[in-house]
A = this chain, B = another copy of it.
Amino acid sequence: MADPSTEAVSDPNETIMRATYRALREHGYADLTIQRIADEYGKSTAAIHYHYDTKEDLLAAFLDYILEQFKDAVHEVETTDPEQRLELLLDKLLVDPEDHLDLLVAILEMRSQAPYKERFRERFRQNDEYVRYMLQTVIDHGIDEGVFAAVDAEHEARALMTIVDGARTRAVVLDEERALTTARRTADDYVANVLVNDRRGDGSQRG
């Protein structure tokens, strides 16, 4: 997604989300305080509490905001050619600019808290469902057009998200920028050899 912290805005909620984005990237999740977000916001903590009662409320809203950002990014994908569209979606999911690794660090911390914070889990599930729906739709479209083999589109969307989530975790845990590049190549090979119709001599597939 495009760095949302650099454009001027007037909506206070949007401005607080951008301040949260910057504060998370700088301090991570565990060390994030309303004070630190207020510092980025340039106003008092009361100005934030006017909109959000607790840090958890604010962060739940932030996870919604991230999904909206992704939806905006996806709307930029204009092509309807299934193979090209799938490529571009995978680019949006995996080809992140370097400076977003900080955000991935904070998000992995929040992800690891999902078993303890139902509101986080709900958001991560919603985000995952949305992205899988996008992937599944384009795969189904490709099957209809005969570009992709008669695969199980629901499963294949989960398979691709497994690669995406693996990349994000590995980038953070191992501090490996290349984890995203590796995953992009893995997803490409997977699509070319498992999904695309003309890649297999007999059209069959182990399951």
A contact residues vs B (CB 8 Å cutoff):
28, 30, 105, 108-109, 111-116, 121, 124-125, 128, 155, 158-159, 161-170, 172-175, 179, 182-183, 185-186, 188-190, 192-194, 199-201, 205-207
Least Cβ–Cβ distance between A48 and chain B, in angstroms: 25
Alpha-carbon distance A159/B183, docked complex (angstroms): 6
- CB-defined A-B contacts under 8 Å, sample of 26: A108-B111, A109-B113, A112-B173, A114-B174, A114-B175, A115-B175, A121-B173, A158-B179, A162-B167, A162-B179, A163-B163, A164-B166, A165-B173, A166-B166, A166-B167, A186-B190, A188-B206, A189-B190, A189-B194, A189-B205, A189-B206, A190-B194, A193-B199, A193-B200, A200-B200, A200-B201
CB distance from A197 to the nearest CB of B (A): 12
Check if A172 sits within 8 Å of B114, measured CB to CB: yes
A189 CA to B151 CA, complexed, in Å: 11
Most buried by B among A159, A165, A182, A205: A165
Assembled-state Cα–Cα distance A189/B109 (Å): 31
How far is B114's CA from A201's CA once the two chains are assembled, in angstroms?
44
Contact partner of A112 among B155, B166, B172, B188, CB < 8 A? B172
Which B residue sits closest to A102, measured CB to CB? B115
Q: What residues of B have a CB within 8 angstroms of the CB of A179 in the complex? A: 158, 162
